Structure 1
Amino acid sequence: MSIFNKTILTLTLAVVGLLGLSNLHAASKTTTQPKPEVKVAVLGGKFSFNLPAGFIASPLSADEQSSEGAGAMGTLYANAQEKRVVMVIEKPLPEASRPGDNDDAFLDGAVSGFVNRQSAGLPDFRQTGESRLNRNGLGVRQIDSTATLGGGKTLNSTFIAGSGDRMAVIQVISRSDQASAHAALVKRIAGESSMPVSQSRKNHGK
């Protein structure tokens, strides 16, 4: 059973306006002013990180959140100056799919489902890497990829983790000409503990 539906892809496409220099996604929504740093925490604080100055938080709409199922929560963090977004979604899991804090079977399935969905929806999606992370005992997978969104090339790094009755997906999207800044933000989110997954799992897609 797939734990991803079309909303993951839909939300990815929803941020294209920012990357393409048009209006910020959901600009009419209530947003907070930029702070020196923005703390983000999911899964009861088991996975947390600080975004640097310049990001503005905007909650996803009720329709966007409800399409992920009852109890789903999502926030879009956007940096208009750097044309970069971080999308954070936390959603409940059915009882049959509930993992431990470092459950390889769950993470393998979650990664496969995510990659398959992106490959089906984005013609030039290409997975460029995958890493295992351990955040204080919480297993996290990082999937790096490239794709064209709204006519522009983008770099994407997605973090997936699960614990008990919830899972979290954190997606970082940058323009392709911002590789260094993208890598710096990804490193900040990932922390110091990461290990590449077998090369056989890389280069999925075109």
Structure 2
Amino acid sequence: MSLLSKKAAVLLLSAIAALGAINAQAAKEKATSEKVSLLDGKFSFVLPKGFVADPLPPSPSGAKGTMYTNQATKTVVIAAQNQIPQGQNVKDNDGPFLDGAVSSFIEDQRKALPDFNKLSEKSLTRKGTGLGLRQVDSTATQGGGQTLNTTLMAGSGTKMALVQVISRASDKQGHDALIKTLLKD
């Protein structure tokens, strides 16, 4: 497994492990719209009202992130970023880097989730910043039920970012609307 693959796996495993550790106290706090900014502001979005932020503990590799939960819709958004392994420096729309990140991510998901099913994969470019994103849509059983998952990956300079949206399988319309909000330029 390449170092990039290991870093992507650590990011993802940290995110998945955090799903089971939703802070009940944070859920009781007043939910407001949350602005999320990654990669020095090159990838930012505003989550709709109803999401409550809960910082994730830093991973052993140094990945940092936040889990946003919406109790009403049973939706989770995980936003994390980490240093790219071996001091690698990537362009804002680095095709080979993004292709490798997606490949490693899919491989790791298949190992971690026995019923992981990739539905689609897209290449996107943010109009305002030129930042390249890869979007992977999938399904899997997580937290005791079938889920819809959209994972967005990007890299810029010496950092990589991952945003994962996890929704109930029965809420495709809400899931798609949230993804559209996150990708709005």
Work out the CA distance in 2 between the residues paired with 1:29 and 1:180: 26
* Residue of structure 2 in register with 1:195 after alignment: none
Q: Please tell me whether residue 25 in structure 1 is matched to residue 52 in structure 2.
A: no
* Residue of structure 2 in register with 1:5 after alignment: 9
Deviations 1:144-191 (A, max 9, x none): 000011320000000000001101000000000000000000111122
Work out the CA distance in 2 between the residues paired with 1:60 and 1:26: 10
* Residue of structure 2 in register with 1:78 after alignment: 69
Local SS of the residue matching 1:66: coil
Kept in 2, the 8 Å contact 1:32–1:58? The answer is: no
Query: Does the C-alpha gap of structure 1 residues 49 and 25 become closer, same or farther in structure 2, counting only changes over 3 Å?
Result: same
Write the letter of the residue equivalent to 1:27.
Answer: A
> How many Å apart are 1:13 and its aligned residue?
4.7
Local SS of the residue matching 1:90: strand
Kept in 1, the 8 Å contact 2:75–2:167? The answer is: yes
Write the letter of the residue equivalent to 1:163.
Answer: S
Work out the CA distance in 2 between the residues paired with 1:79 and 1:188: 15
> How many Å apart are 1:7 and its aligned residue?
4.9
Q: Which moved more, 1:168-177 or 1:131-140?
A: 131-140
Work out the CA distance in 1 between the residues paired with 2:124 and 2:115: 27
Q: Please tell me whether residue 154 in structure 1 is matched to residue 147 in structure 2.
A: yes
Unaligned runs of 5+ in 2: none
Kept in 1, the 8 Å contact 2:18–2:56? The answer is: no
Work out the CA distance in 2 between the residues paired with 1:145 and 1:78: 19
Kept in 1, the 8 Å contact 2:116–2:141? The answer is: yes
Unaligned runs of 5+ in 1: 18-23, 193-206
TM-score normalised to structure 1 length:
0.80
Query: Does the C-alpha gap of structure 1 residues 184 and 29 become closer, same or farther in structure 2, counting only changes over 3 Å?
Result: closer
Q: 1:99 aligns with which of 66, 90, 93?
A: 90
Equivalent pairs counted in the alignment come to: 179
Query: Does the C-alpha gap of structure 1 residues 95 and 164 become closer, same or farther in structure 2, counting only changes over 3 Å?
Result: farther
Q: Please tell me whether residue 45 in structure 1 is matched to residue 41 in structure 2.
A: yes
Work out the CA distance in 2 between the residues paired with 1:96 and 1:102: 17
Local SS of the residue matching 2:176: helix
Deviations 1:121-154 (A, max 9, x none): 1011000011111112100011000001132000
Q: Give the alignment's Cα RMSD to 1 decimal.
A: 2.0
Local SS of the residue matching 1:4: helix
Kept in 2, the 8 Å contact 1:34–1:55? The answer is: yes
